């Protein structure tokens, strides 16, 4: 029976490799390790704003193929932190290949990792990230009361009056015991899982190829083993509750009350754990890295096309061949080469401008974090990523859409003067204000952001911006085909600015009244005449002066 179960488990792991997870995602716990971690030393920690702009949660659910909660937290943190040195990612390629080609080895590792798939495992990180509970000032009486109870119990066999002493002490002890229950509950989800984590890490370390990830792991593991005897008490308590052995549990509870076993074990264990934070984190990182590598191998297995990126020196170049968005089914691929300039996209709504900007950003992020791009070729420098795509009113702080956009772009301007290369992503810049000021401010800001070695990807409906920036930005557009009753998008990137506008035509094929269509056409033609005669020449003259 055990053999059959083991065989079924192997078949399940083999069939799941390369496929999406069917699990639900508890993002509050998945993100908790990243939220509490000090990421100040990283090259670029993606902001919540950028993650929201790029649909990061959906991207993570697509990439995540981990087998443990530790690996899930680790992978989430890995994807949100662009490292200062991508060389380590390249160094994992040998192990990635081994996991891909050696299914027996991979399955044996996955079985170990799956031992850490319970929800409680999420809380292991709190043992080295959160402040450990300290005993109250009056705690010194706890060992005294425990000793007095133990001594009275022994003496009671010689003089029964000491049973009365035990009963008297128990009145105090029961108050302390139940006061401590809340403290104990806070660690019931983490301390037992630490023992499991340490055991899994030591089993994984037996594989020679995995030792390369952290060669001194056993130093950390052996230190944690020294407190394992105390941690076994928490494992026993958990087992008692889960198995509902009521009678035995009741007797054990009585013993714990009389001798104050729980507070003594809890604070004794916490004191030792508090001095072993670094060792616990080392074990966490070792297991997390292995699980993340298997996840990346599974991701690649399920892709028709992917590549490992080429990281070039610090220069303003980016090349993407047949690049696509991994979350768009049957996504149309596009090719783009950036060399010394930035990119301005024009096109109508739904033509693919914003999706393409997100495509570039996602490939930059996954390339720099997990050494995987959704393209046949992708090369780029080490870059930080900032975006202004989804912006909304901040009603809680009484800020309008325009003010929110102003503050977001001001932050980009501040970062643009740093020595690092930045990738700036903007969608319809300053669309919260009037046309003249939108174009004027947009041109000035985009010229500024394009300085140094920064690369800017921006979409706009304002054709005037394309004319004003043609010496600084490469112009591309997306277009659609409109016939009598349909609108068809090909989502292909084309050179130059958009020449045909179809917004009014789309109104027409959707049966808007003819009076509205005729008036719209008349006004559009008049505005074009005014624009050609006055706006662009005046702006160009102003710029040249």
Q: What pLDDT digit, counting tens, does each position of 111-147 carry?
A: 999 999 999 999 999 999 999 889 889 988 988 988 9
**What is the enclosing helix (H) or strand (E) of 415?**
helix 401-416
pLDDT at site 352 = 87
In whole angstroms, what is the distance from residue 169 CA to residue 156 CA? 14
Provide the phi-psi class of 423: left if phi over 0, else alpha when psi is between -120 and 50, else beta. beta
Residue 536 confidence (pLDDT): 47
| Alpha carbons 130 and 265: distance in angstroms, whole number | 19
- From the CB of residue 348, how many other CB atoms can be counted at a distance below 10 Å? 21
pLDDT surpasses 50 at 202: yes
β-strand partners of 45: 81
C-beta atoms surrounding 436 within 10 Å: 11
Q: Tally Cβ neighbours within 10 Å of residue 239.
A: 11
469-496 average pLDDT score: 84
- Which range (306-310, 383-387, 533-537) has the least confidence? 533-537
Q: What is the pLDDT of residue 163?
A: 83
Output the pLDDT for position 531: 63
Estimate to the nearest angstrom the gap between the alpha carbon of 100 and the chain centroid: 24
**SS3 of residue 493 by DSSP:** coil
pLDDT category of residue 244 using cuts at 50, 70 and 90: low
The residue to which tokens 């027996």 are assigned: 104
SS3 311: strand
Residue 1, pLDDT above cutoff 60: no
Tell me: pLDDT of 207 over 90: yes
pLDDT greater than 80 at residue 185: no
Mean residue pLDDT of the chain comes to: 86
What confidence category does residue 543 fall into, taking pLDDT thresholds of 50, 70 and 90? Answer: very low
How many Cα neighbours within 13 Å face the side chain of 57?
10
The 10 Å Cβ neighbour count of residue 401 is: 14
Q: Is the Cβ–Cβ distance between 496 and 477 less than 8 Å?
A: yes
**Per-residue pLDDT reduced to its tens digit, 435-448:** 788 888 889 999 99
Instruction: Give span(s): CATH 3.40.50.300, the chain.
Output: 310-511
For residue 200, name the pLDDT band (cuts at 50, 70, 90).
very high
Predicted pLDDT at 111: 95
| Class of 310-511 in CATH | alpha beta
With 0-12 CB in 10 A as exposed, 13-18 as middle and 19+ as buried, what is 541? exposed
Nearest to 270 by CA among 169, 371, 140, 131: 131
How does residue 544 score in pLDDT terms, banded at 50, 70 and 90? very low
- Is residue 476 predicted with pLDDT exceeding 80? yes
pTM: predicted TM-score of the whole model, two decimal places? 0.88
Q: Which of 42-46, 422-426, 470-474, 534-538 has the lowest mean pLDDT?
A: 534-538
Residue 54 confidence (pLDDT) above 50 = yes
């Amino acid at each position: 029976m055990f053999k059959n179960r083991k065989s079924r488990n192997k078949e399940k792991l083999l069939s799941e490799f390369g496929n999406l997870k069917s699990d639900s995602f508890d993002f509050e716990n998945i993100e908790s390790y990243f939220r509490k971690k000090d990421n100040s030393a990283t090259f670029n920690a993606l902001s919540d704003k950028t993650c929201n702009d790029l649909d990061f949660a959906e991207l993570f659910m697509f990439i995540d193929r981990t087998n443990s909660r530790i690996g899930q937290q680790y992978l989430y943190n890995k994807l949100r932190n662009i490292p200062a040195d991508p060389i380590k990612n390249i160094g994992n390629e040998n192990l990635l290949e081994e996991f891909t080609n050696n299914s027996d080895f991979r399955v044996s590792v996955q079985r170990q990792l799956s031992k850490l798939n319970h929800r409680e495992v999420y809380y292991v990180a709190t043992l080295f990230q959160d402040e450990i509970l300290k005993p109250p000032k009056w705690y010194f009486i706890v060992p005294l009361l425990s000793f007095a109870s133990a001594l009275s119990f022994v003496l009671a066999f010689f003089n029964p009056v000491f049973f009365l002493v035990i009963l008297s002490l128990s009145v105090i002890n029961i108050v302390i015991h139940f006061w401590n229950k809340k403290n104990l509950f806070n660690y019931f989800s983490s301390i037992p899982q630490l023992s499991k984590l340490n055991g899994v890490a030591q089993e994984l370390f037996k594989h020679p190829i995995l030792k390369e990830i952290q060669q001194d792991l056993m130093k950390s593991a052996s230190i944690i083993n020294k407190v394992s005897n105390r941690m076994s008490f928490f494992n026993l308590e958990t087992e008692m509750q889960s198995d509902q052995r009521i009678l035995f549990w009741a007797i054990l509870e009585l013993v714990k009350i009389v001798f104050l076993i729980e507070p003594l074990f809890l604070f004794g264990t916490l004191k030792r754990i508090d001095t072993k934070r670094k060792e616990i984190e080392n074990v966490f990182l070792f297991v997390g890295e292995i699980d993340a590598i298997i996840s990346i191998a599974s991701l690649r297995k399920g892709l028709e096309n992917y590549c490992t990126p080429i990281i070039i020196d610090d220069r303003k170049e980016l090349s993407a061949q047949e690049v696509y968005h991994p979350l768009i089914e049957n996504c149309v691929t596009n090719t783009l080469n950036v060399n010394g300039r930035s990119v301005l996209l024009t096109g109508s709504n739904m033509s693919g401008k914003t999706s393409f900007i997100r495509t570039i950003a996602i490939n930059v992020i996954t390339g720099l974090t997990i050494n995987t791009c959704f393209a046949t070729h992708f090369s780029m420098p080490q870059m930080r990523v900032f975006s202004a795509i989804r912006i909304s009113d901040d009603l809680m702080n009484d800020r309008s859409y325009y003010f929110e956009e102003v503050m977001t772009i001001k932050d980009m301007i501040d970062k643009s003067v740093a020595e690092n290369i930045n990738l700036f992503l903007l969608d319809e810049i300053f669309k919260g204000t009037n046309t003249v000021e939108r174009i004027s401010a947009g041109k000035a800001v985009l010229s500024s952001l394009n300085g140094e070695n920064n690369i800017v990807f921006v979409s706009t409906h304002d054709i005037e911006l394309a004319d004003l920036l043609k010496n600084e930005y490469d112009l591309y557009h997306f277009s659609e085909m409109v016939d009598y009753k349909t609108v068809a998008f090909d989502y292909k990137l084309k050179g130059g600015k958009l020449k045909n506008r179809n917004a009014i035509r789309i109104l027409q094929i959707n049966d808007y009244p003819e009076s509205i269509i005729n008036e719209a056409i008349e006004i559009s033609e008049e505005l074009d005449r005014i624009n050609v005669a006055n706006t662009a020449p005046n702006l160009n003259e102003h710029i040249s002066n």
